[in-house]
Amino acid sequence: MKSPARLGLTGGIGSGKSTMARLLQAEGADVIDADAISRRTTEAGGKAMPAIEKTFGRAFLAADGALDRQRMRDHVFANPDARHTLERIIHPLVGDEIRQQTEASISPCIVFDVPLLVESPHWRPQLDRVLVIDCSPATQIRRVNARSGWDAATTEAVMRNQSPRAWRLAAADIVVFNDTDDIALLERAAKALAMRFGL
Ligand SMILES: CC(C)(COP(=O)(O)OP(=O)(O)OC[C@H]1O[C@@H](n2cnc3c(N)ncnc32)[C@H](O)[C@@H]1O)[C@@H](O)C(=O)NCCC(=O)NCCS
Ligand SMILES: Nc1ncnc2c1ncn2[C@@H]1O[C@H](COP(=O)(O)OP(=O)(O)OP(=O)(O)O)[C@@H](O)[C@H]1O
């Protein structure tokens, strides 16, 4: 059997990665979503929670034992050492689950939706192509405010903890510019990508 095409999908916060991932899924791709996997490890009883409680303390847990996401967000995006500590707990668990989902896939195209793809050097050799969803910083701030209610300072703090836009663009094989809220444009791009990647 021909091995599946492996497409990395990344972009800054609010760029439209998850939206593109959903469109590619509708075209028949298997999407492996690192954010979703990460969130599962930090639910109540999640695999990351014992180490998070031990390292950061009970104050970072909500009443039900899940991660207090807002508290951790405020902490780690203002403190790179704490972010690295959290990543050292979560990323290996996410990596294990990504490997399992990859092995289970039977699609001709697997899309790896990974916010920190450009930041992690191990990713590129595992992929056939890297697709970057790009938009301006002002659009990122506007979208995250509309979607999640975060103020500009909160989104900017996350953006400062991600690769600069120029680095992501330099790492891209394919760029989809997604600066206007035009879903039809993104749908057309997804259909073209689906053809190109055997769907
Ligand atoms: C800090 C946390 C608790 C904040 O949770 P919250 O629900 O507010 O945000 P959510 O998880 O939905 O992430 C929103 C966006 O923030 C950005 N982001 C998340 N983690 C990171 C990070 N470590 N570095 C840079 N940007 C990040 C991504 O663009 C992501 O799509 C959470 O993001 C987290 O646990 N991060 C560490 C794990 C991680 O690196 N995840 C990224 C994919 S593996
Ligand atoms: N082309 C578009 N047309 C309409 N809405 C869009 C478009 N692109 C993105 N959006 C909206 O912008 C918001 C952010 O998009 P999305 O969640 O896909 O970004 P993301 O890159 O996955 O963000 P995060 O890094 O925070 O997970 C969502 O509410 C989404 O519906």
For residue 161 and ligand 2, the question of a CB distance below 6 A is answered with: no
The token duo for 47 is: 């695999």
Does residue 1 carry a pLDDT above 70?
no
Does 37 sit in the ligand 1 pocket, CB within 6 Å? no
How far from 192 is each of 83, 150, 171, 197, CA to CA, in Å?
Answer: 37, 33, 21, 9
Residue list for the binding site for ATP: 14-19
User: What band does 69 get if pLDDT is binned at 50, 70 and 90?
Assistant: very high
pLDDT-derived band at 2, boundaries 50, 70, 90: confident
- Atom 6 (ligand 2): residue with closest C-alpha? 181
Q: Is ligand 1 within 6 A of the CB of residue 72? A: yes
**ipTM above 0.90 for this complex:** yes
Domains assigned to the chain: 1-29+107-199 (3.40.50.300), 37-106 (no CATH)
pLDDT, tens only, 7-59: 999 999 999 999 999 999 999 999 999 999 999 999 999 999 999 999 999 99
pLDDT tens-place string over residues 118-144: 999 999 999 999 999 999 999 999 999
Residues in the chain: 199
* pLDDT score for 49: 98
- Which ligand 1 atom minimizes the distance to the CA of 94? 44
pLDDT of residue 41: 99
- 167: tokens are 């680095």
- The confidence score (pLDDT) of residue 32 equals 98
Task: Output the 3-class SS for 5-33.
Answer: EEEEEECCCCCCHHHHHHHHHHCCCEEEE
- Residue 143 Cβ < 6 Å to ligand 2: yes
Binding site membership of 15 for ligand 2 (Cβ less than 6 Å): yes
Which of 22, 38, 123, 114 is closest to 73 using CA atoms? 38
List the residue whose alpha carbon is closest to atom 43 of ligand 1: 35
Nearest-ligand number for the alpha carbon of 17: 2
116 alpha carbon – ligand 1 mean position (Å):
9
Which ligand minimizes its atom distance to the CA of 181? Answer: 2
